[in-house]
Amino acid sequence: MMIEQVIRYLLTIPYYIWSSFIIVLVVLICSLIIRHKVSKLKIGDNPGKVMTGIITFVQFMNNYAKNNIGKHWKMLAPIILSLAIFIFLSNISGLFLLDTPTKYATVTLAFAIVSVITIQSVGLRSKGLKHFKTLMGPMWWFSPVMIPLNILSDLTPLISMTMRLFGNIASGAAVLTLIYAVSGPATVIAGPVAHAIFDIGFGVIQTIVFVLLTTVFSSNKIEESDLEIKGGI
How confident is the model over 146-195, as pLDDT tens digits? 778 888 888 888 999 999 999 999 999 999 989 888 888 888 888 889 88
Write down the pLDDT at residue 24. 95
The better pLDDT of the pair 187, 31 is held by 31
Write down the pLDDT at residue 1. 57
Read off the pLDDT of each residue in 16-20 and give the average, rounded to a whole number: 93
Residue 154 in contact with residue 134, Cβ under 8 Å?
Answer: no
Write down the pLDDT at residue 233. 46
Write down the pLDDT at residue 8. 79
The better pLDDT of the pair 150, 19 is held by 19
Give the closest residue to 124 by CA, choosing from 135, 112, 113: 135
Instruction: Report the mean per-residue pLDDT for the chain.
Output: 87
Give the closest residue to 126 by CA, choosing from 72, 55, 74: 72
The crossing angle, in degrees rounded to 10, of helices 143-183 and 202-219 is 170
Write down the pLDDT at residue 142. 66
Write down the pLDDT at residue 43. 78
Give the closest residue to 96 by CA, choosing from 200, 230, 217: 200
Buried-state track 124-157, b at ≥16 Cβ within 10 A, e below 16: ebbbeeebeeeeeeeeeeeeeebeeebeeebeeb
Give the closest residue to 124 by CA, choosing from 72, 52, 182: 72
